[in-house]
C-alpha cells in the first residue's frame, strides 16, 4: 500500500507541475498578444498578396501583345487545334511538319497551300 501511495503522489506532483507550466505559458502568451496576432495574420496576408499578384499577371498576359492567337475547335467531344495561326511562314512550315492541322498565316487569311 505504501508503494501505491508514493506513486500517486508522484503522479499528482507531475500534474501540478504541468498545470503550473501551462499557467506560466498562458501568462506569457497574454503579454505578447500583438506578436501572436502578427504570427497568425502574416501567412494569410501572404496568400492574399500572392493571389492578387497572380490575378494581375494573368490579366496582363491576356492582353493582345501576349495573347495566344489560336482557335481550338471542339469536335466529337475532343479538343482539336485546327485553327492555329502562326506569325511567320517558318513557324507555319514547322507546324505542318509536326502535324498541327490546317494552319493559317497570321494577317493573310491564307490557309494551307493557298497564297
Secondary structure letter of residue 86 according to DSSP:
E
Half-sphere exposure of 79 (CA within 13 A, CB side): 4
The pLDDT value recorded for residue 12 is 93
54-101 pLDDT, tens digit per residue, is: 999 988 887 776 665 565 656 666 655 545 554 555 555 555 565 544
Residue 101 and residue 80 in contact, taking contact as beta carbons nearer than 8 Å? yes
**Range with the lowest mean pLDDT among 6-10, 76-80, 102-106?**
102-106
Amino acid at each position: 500500500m505504501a508503494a501505491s501511495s508514493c506513486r500517486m503522489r508522484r503522479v499528482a506532483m507531475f500534474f501540478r507541475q504541468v498545470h503550473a507550466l501551462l499557467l506560466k505559458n498562458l501568462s506569457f502568451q497574454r503579454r505578447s498578444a500583438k506578436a501572436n496576432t502578427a504570427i497568425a495574420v502574416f501567412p494569410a496576408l501572404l496568400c492574399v498578396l500572392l493571389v492578387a499578384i497572380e490575378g494581375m499577371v494573368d490579366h496582363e498576359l491576356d492582353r493582345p501583345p501576349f495573347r495566344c492567337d489560336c482557335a481550338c475547335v471542339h469536335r466529337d467531344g475532343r479538343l482539336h487545334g485546327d485553327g492555329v495561326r502562326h506569325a511567320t511562314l517558318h513557324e507555319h512550315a514547322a507546324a505542318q511538319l509536326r502535324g498541327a492541322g490546317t494552319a493559317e498565316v497570321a494577317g493573310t487569311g491564307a490557309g494551307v497551300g493557298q497564297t
